Amino acid sequence: MSEFLESLILGVVQGLTEFLPVSSSGHLEITKYFLGDQSLAEESLAMTVALHVATALSTVVVFRKEIATLFRNIDLTSGGGSTPYFFKIAITMIPAGFIGLFFEDQMAALFDGRLLLVGSMLLITAALLFTADIIQNNHRNVTYKDSIIIGIAQAFALLPGISRSGATICTAVILKIDRKEAAQFSFLIVLPLILGKGVLDVVEMIKGDYVLMASISGLTVGFFAAFFTGIFACKVMIAMVRNASLKWFGFYCAAMGLFLLIYKTVF
């Protein structure tokens, strides 16, 4: 398969699955496995950075008005306005940040074509989606306590096959948080993590002196594919969360999870 086509496929998969609750990390592992991806570590890292930065920018584009309003309403002197909202976002980062700092090598070992793990985690994602879809009377705003719980859910989503958006949105919905706010909060809390991780990965690439070893054309194709499909998927996901249509993604995750378990058992 040509480098152009492989980069395009990886970009589309990342863009769609970063926002749809089907696990971007799990689907990238599945895609790489069946494409027979033989990328060098430095090439894989460069593509990962490009794809994640692209989807982060997709979030910024979709929520540009909300983000601008939040920054305009910051009031550090009184602690009012949108300041508490930023503190809540910061709280959600703590569990995933802790795991990323102290267990990075152990987590990285899970991303090595382990389809049995991905399949099992997709079944858990499906269960979350089915549960959240039947929850009604969602009317609350996010509290500091909710932020801690949602942050823990986001940390579990570091496992390949556990959808980050699925875990955080479903947790928020189960906590009776307004569905629109649950989606917005879920997509905004990942921005600092993605951008922070991107900066660290770029520093690692520079230190390793292999920035230029990755194909610029391949990175460009993957970046724009992830960016534009990310915008589309983000808007679709917001609409589906508000309309309580998460069960359809639950059916997909359950089917894909079972397929992977059967496939790895047979082959």
Q: Locate the domains of the chain by residue range.
A: 3-266
Closest CA to 230 of 47, 6, 20: 20
Tokens for 183?
């989606």
Closest CA to 87 of 76, 77, 101: 76
Residue 75, CA atoms < 13 Å, CB-side half-sphere: 6
| Amino acid letter for position 41 | A
| Amino acid letter for position 21 | P
- Beta-strand pair 74-75/80-81: antiparallel
As a whole number of angstroms, the distance between CA 182 and CA 176 comes to: 9
Closest CA to 254 of 112, 128, 110, 115: 128
Locus of tokens 């990075």: 104
Helices (H) and strands (E) in the chain, counts: 12, 2
As a whole number of angstroms, the distance between CA 213 and CA 211 comes to: 6
Residue by residue, pLDDT tens for the chain (267 residues) are 577 788 888 899 989 888 889 988 888 888 878 877 655 445 566 777 888 889 889 999 999 999 999 888 888 777 788 899 999 999 999 998 888 788 877 877 776 667 889 999 999 999 999 999 888 878 899 999 999 999 999 999 988 899 999 999 999 999 999 998 999 999 999 888 788 777 777 777 666 655 545 577 888 899 999 999 999 999 999 888 888 788 999 999 999 999 999 998 887
CB 129 within 8 A of CB 172: no
Sign of the C-alpha dihedral, residues 137, 142, 147, 153? positive
